[in-house]
Amino acid sequence: MTSYTTAVGGLATDVRLPDGAGPFPAVLLRTPYDRRRHRAELRGWTRRGFAAVVQDVRGRYASPGEWRPYDGEAADGAQLARWIRGRSWSDGRLVAYGASYAAHCALALALEAPEDARPDAVIAAVPALGTADTAREPSGVERLLTRAGWWAAHGDRPDSRDSALAKALAADPELLGHLPLLDLPRRLGRDLPSWPDVWARRERGRLTALGARAAVPLLAVGGHHDHFAEDTVELWRRWGGPSARLLMGPWGHGLTAAPGPDAHRAHRLNLGELYARWAHTALTGGLAAGRTGALALGGSPLWVPAHTPGEPYAPRLRPLRGAHFTADPEQPVRSDQLTIPTTGVPDRCVLVTPPLPRPLDLLGPAETRLSASADTPSADWAARLVAVTPDGHAERLAIGIVRRREPPGRTAEFGVPLGRLARRLHAGTRLRLEIAGHHFPAHARNPHTGEDPVTATRLTASTRRLDPARTALRLTTLRTRPAPTDPAEEIPR
């Protein structure tokens, strides 16, 4: 194999070529996380017959310039794509590939670059679609912990310090509780001039909307425990290319390297092999048209087709406590704790189902419906769904949060989406539904004053009233016994 380093448009670029005369199809990867970390991936692609090219994005690691996250990646990607197609070792066919921010780079190239620079196929794993998409829930609520961690580690610097936020929290456990949130850079002790821009951007779904007009095949890969899971599914659902494949497993943002508590041995896929098979098939025009894919059913060894039909299921809920509760941002319900206080003023409403008489397969969207009021003009409503096993072990299944602005005291009926579930629950499991006013530090605290949580400097408590009789949990279950599939066969089909 031949490998070398060069500069394309001034940006540091590594090239690795397979043995043989060529020319070869190529895989392009652009990353802010140091191209040198991808050398093993490049070797894997070349062993499978692809020329592999990885580039440090502008302003990161060995590439000069100023890094502006999520800006300008299509232009730099287009210059690299044209350069690849002009090499004697290239046969002109090109796959844009990446995970997380690198998936953003791949999608920007496929959807925003001039036609002559666009790839012939795209692999987007756990895609970070844009600043607003990563910083806020679809409801607009701020994802505080993940954005603070990412910007502390990577923002406004040419390299990364992955443990930056963890070290800062060790020194000051209340770091994320200080107000205003815009002052976080000062408390971290470093300049982060782009931090305010994170929260100034509110346009979500731009790349997803452009994907509806895409003209090339897509492989979208995600994890049920990844905070970008819904974006991954929506990208696949709206993709306009000739074929779209979805692969979702019981993984976190690190995919198979970050298995969830419901992962099974059958979910340990060789993703590199699967990506290469799909890419070869896509470039030779062998993919069947339409949207298909494979979903892992966590808690079981099953994989089922992505379009497996489901049916509505509404379990009976029994209130335990907190139909009237106080959402106090000074003492918020925490996202990193599943214990529930049993004394004092309730800080959430808690409802439970009877034990399941038999195993239950959940596959599809989930939502809770509420009839509730707050005595403040702005109120967040966080719904957390937890599975409690017969021996008392609690595991979070889903979280949803919405922001409501109503006249104080007025009762409203509304839903809180909980995302999509793909999970087998065993007999004897109870479902616990918690309704709270905060989910901190995963999400910024609503100050209840009507001010923006990012700039607010004053907090006030909010009295909540919820009608348990009109609280409903709406789930989706498998309609019939699952029809299993094999991802290694389904994805490249």
**Which two tokens mark 60?**
């990161």
Q: State residue 160's pLDDT score.
A: 96
CB 181 within 8 A of CB 82: no
The pLDDT of residue 159:
96
Backbone phi, psi, residue 151, to 5°: -70, -35
E strand or H helix at 252, and its extent? strand 251-252
Is the omega angle on the peptide bond into residue 441 within 30 degrees of 0, that is, cis? Answer: yes
Find the helix or strand (DSSP H, E) in which 349 lies. Answer: strand 348-352
Per-residue model confidence as pLDDT tens digits over 10-58: 999 999 999 998 899 999 999 999 999 999 999 999 999 999 999 999 9
Q: Quick one: pLDDT at residue 86?
A: 98
Counting Cβ atoms within 10 Å, is residue 79 exposed (0-12), middle (13-18) or buried (19+)? Answer: middle
Report the pLDDT value the prediction gives residue 1, as an integer from 0 to 100: 72
**Count of CB atoms within 10 A of residue 264's CB?**
18
Count of CB atoms situated within 10 Å of the CB of 422:
26
Q: Is the dihedral of CA 133, 134, 135, 138 positive or negative?
A: positive
The whole-number pLDDT of residue 480 equals 82
Paired residues of 98 in beta bridges? 124
Per-residue b or e along 299-329, where b marks 16 or more CB atoms closer than 10 Å to that residue's CB = bbebbbbbebebeeeebebebbebbebbbbb
Contact by Cβ (8 Å): 264, 301: yes
User: Tokens 């892992």, residue?
Assistant: 296
Tell me the C-alpha distance between 176 and 64, whole Å. 32
Q: CB–CB of 46/272 below 8 Å?
A: no
Helix (H) or strand (E) holding 256: strand 255-259
Residue pair 63/88 in contact (Cβ under 8 Å)? The answer is: no
Instruction: Provide the residue-wise pLDDT of the chain in tens; the chain has 493 residues.
Output: 799 999 999 999 999 999 998 899 999 999 999 999 999 999 999 999 999 999 999 999 999 999 999 999 999 999 999 999 999 999 999 999 999 999 999 999 999 999 999 999 999 999 999 999 999 999 999 999 999 999 999 999 999 999 999 999 999 999 999 999 999 999 999 889 999 999 998 889 999 999 999 999 999 999 999 999 999 999 999 999 999 999 999 999 999 999 999 999 999 999 999 999 999 999 999 999 999 999 999 999 999 999 999 999 999 999 999 999 999 999 999 999 999 998 999 999 999 999 999 999 999 999 999 999 999 999 999 999 999 999 999 999 999 999 999 999 999 999 999 999 999 999 999 999 999 999 999 999 999 999 999 999 999 999 999 999 999 999 999 988 778 999 999 999 9
CA distance between the termini of the chain: 30
Are the beta carbons of 404 and 364 closer than 8 angstroms?
A: no
Q: Which residues contact 284 (CB under 8 A, 6 or more apart)?
A: none
Report angle CA 176, 182, 188 to the nearest 5 degrees: 55
What does the alpha-carbon distance between residue 418 and residue 385 come to, in Å, rounded to a whole number?
8
Return the pLDDT at 302: 96
